[in-house]
Amino acid sequence: MRIAVGVTGASGAIYGYTLIKALYDLGIEVHAVYTDMGLKVLEYECGHSIEVIQKYATVYDNADLFAPLASGSFKMNGMVVVPCSMHTLGALAGASGRDLLTRAADVTLKEGRKLVVVPRETPMTPIHLENMLKLARSGVVVMPAAPGFYHKPATVDDIVAFMAGKILDIFDIEHALFKRWGN
């Protein structure tokens, strides 16, 4: 299995980091692309540099439109943009493909593969909501970073793991990141 993960500059870099590490730990091939602000937020919020991510994923420069992720012939099972800034969400809704992250997401969608976006913003404007609706109508799974609490999280890591687990569920990837309801 091969999954691409795009990480933008929205607050919540820990979601992207946790998902990338979980995929790696499950033996799934991970390809990652960070926006410039995504890298800054990763360092600010998590204290990690891109070198830490390179332990778990093949990482591409967001300006490299010659990277494999930019082509539909590069087979992937899907892509997740987590966290997804409203800036990137708007670019995805407009199918701009102006950088590697938005091009890879556009390719994922045009090839009929699963695309998941995890917006991390509140409150939202009607423009944000319209962009999410446009993406959802195009087959994108819009999964706001809104964790549940029925698993009784004790730490921030438990809350983050819940969201990573819900993303893995979209791809039907077995995991033990949170206790399921009824278990």
Q: Would you kindly state where each structural domain of the chain is located, as residue ranges?
A: 2-170
Note the pLDDT of residue 31: 98
The answer, as to whether pTM is greater than 0.85, is yes
pLDDT of residue 179: 87
Is 11 marked as a binding-site residue?
yes
Measured distance CA(70)–CA(162) in Å, rounded: 30
90 exposed, middle or buried (CB, 10 Å; 0-12, 13-18, 19+)?
A: middle
150 is in an annotated binding site: yes
The annotation status of 73 as a binding-site residue, yes or no, is: no
Say whether 87 counts as a known binding-site residue.
Answer: yes
Q: What's the pLDDT score for residue 50?
A: 97
Bond from prior residue into 144 cis (ω within 30 degrees of 0): no
Tens-digit pLDDT profile for the chain (183 aa)?
999 999 999 999 999 999 999 999 999 999 999 999 999 999 999 999 999 999 999 999 999 999 999 999 999 999 999 999 999 999 999 998 899 999 999 999 999 999 999 999 999 999 999 999 999 999 999 999 999 999 999 999 999 999 999 999 999 999 999 988 887
pLDDT, residue 94, reads: 95
88 labelled as ligand-binding?
yes
CATH 3.40.50.1950 fits 2-170, yes or no: yes
The answer on whether 21 is annotated among ligand-binding residues is: no
Q: Is 44 annotated as a binding residue?
A: no
- Round to whole Å and give the CA distance between 163 and 166: 5
Question: 129: Cβ–Cβ under 8 A, 6 or more apart, which residues?
Answer: none
Give residue for tokens 């983050």.
160
9 annotated to bind ligand: yes
Is residue 166 marked as binding? yes
Question: CA 21 to CA 13: how far, in whole Å?
Answer: 12
